[in-house]
Amino acid sequence: MPSTWSVHYDRWVIDDGEPEREVGECFRWSVVAFGSSDCLTYAASHVRSAIGVDDFRYSVIGQVVHVSSKAAVIDFGFRAVGPSDSLPTRCQAGEYVAGQIKLFFQHWCDPLPDDIFQSMDQEWSVETMFADLTPYRPRDETGLGFIRDAQNVRYEQVASTRATNAKAYVLQCRLIQSEESPAHDEPHSSQ
């Protein structure tokens, strides 16, 4: 299996003070977030997995390792945090969920227990990078608000986030396993 994860790095994160990134760079990141446009569902399988699907998303089966009123952490090859309302109703730690998610390097999340937070601190190596040049369109006929135009998805390979001004980037990163962190299954990755 390929050993890279496609993780989104939004321009607003850089604008909020995080550094620009470039291919070949290694860096530590405390928390990777997940997002899903649809609620995850209970999984029949209890085998953690992540398979790359279109638009740098993953179809995952993950074990829920933490749930609070606002945050949920799932483990599908490594741990990521997302909103607890992305889980099925009354989902608890230990249960397995499935669905399609995107991964994000973000610098904020709801408070997590120290042991969970520490288990999510990872080192990453940027192997490839893409600028997301997908246009945005009005949300509706009122023209108030904009959404990403999923019918016109477009990416350009770049060497750094400085190379092209985009609203977001996809960093295809290799997760560097440390001696302290447990080895996890590697994902399939694709665009």
Dist. CA 50–CA 44, nearest whole Å: 15
Mean predicted lDDT score pLDDT of the chain: 89
Predicted confidence at residue 140, as pLDDT, reads: 84
Predicted confidence at residue 139, as pLDDT, reads: 84
Dist. CA 38–CA 18, nearest whole Å: 29
Predicted confidence at residue 145, as pLDDT, reads: 87
**What digits encode the pLDDT tens for the residues 66-75?**
999 999 999 9
Q: If you compute the radius of gyration of the chain from its CA atoms, what whole number of angstroms results?
A: 16
**What digits encode the pLDDT tens for the residues 152-162?**
999 999 999 99
pLDDT in tens, the chain (191 residues): 337 999 999 999 999 999 999 999 999 998 899 999 899 999 999 999 999 999 999 999 999 999 999 999 999 988 999 999 999 999 999 999 999 999 999 877 778 999 999 999 999 999 999 999 999 998 888 878 888 898 999 999 999 999 999 999 999 999 986 544 444 444 433 44
CA 59 to each of CA 15, 24, 35, 189: distance values in angstroms, whole numbers, following the listed order: 30, 27, 12, 10
Dist. CA 21–CA 44, nearest whole Å: 38
Predicted confidence at residue 183, as pLDDT, reads: 42
Tell me the CB-side half-sphere exposure of residue 2, using CA atoms within 13 A: 14
Predicted confidence at residue 142, as pLDDT, reads: 82
For the question of whether the overall pTM of this predicted structure is more than 0.75, the answer is: yes
Q: What is 46-107 written as a DSSP string?
A: -S-EEEEEGGGEEEEEEEEEEE-SSEEEEESSSEEEEEGGGSPTT--TT-EEEEEEEEEE-S
Pairing label, strands 155-157, 168-176: unpaired
Dist. CA 167–CA 134, nearest whole Å: 9
C-alpha dihedral over 20, 26, 32, 37, to 10 degrees? 60
Predicted confidence at residue 26, as pLDDT, reads: 97
